[in-house]
Amino acid sequence: MAEDLGIEAKETAVREVAKLLPLPELLQSIVSIKADYITRQQVTSIHSFFLSIFLWISIQLNCYYFWFFRLMTRNLVQW
């Protein structure tokens, strides 16, 4: 009896999905949309990685510029 209810529920679910997606092209479009989403997510991840590297380099350069400026001003004051 319980097995019959399980089989009936699966068949009902299959029928409902078939109503929602009557054409195989729709299934294919879902696959392509998912692939496009994954690709865009990877590109965004790569962009954020390079942006963080660029930011780190900029901060390091600013620290070096500040250090150099302080060194040069000390030398000017000592003259």
DSSP string across 24-77? HHHHHHHHHHHHHHHHHHHHHHHHHHHHHHHHHHHHHHHHHHHHHHHHHHHHHH
Q: What is the mean pLDDT of residues 62-71?
A: 91
The whole-chain average pLDDT of the chain stands at 83
Q: pTM of the predicted model, to two decimals?
A: 0.46
Q: Residue 21: left if φ>0, alpha if ψ -120 to 50, beta else—which one?
A: beta
Q: How many domains, in total, are found in the chain?
A: 1
pLDDT band at 22; cut points 50, 70, 90: low
Portion of the chain with pLDDT greater than 90, in percent: 27
**How crowded is the C-beta side of 3, counted as CA atoms within 13 Å?**
0
Q: Is the pLDDT of residue 76 over 90?
A: no
Average pLDDT of 37-66? 92
Domain containing 13 equals 2-78
The token pair that represents 16 in the structure block: 């409902």
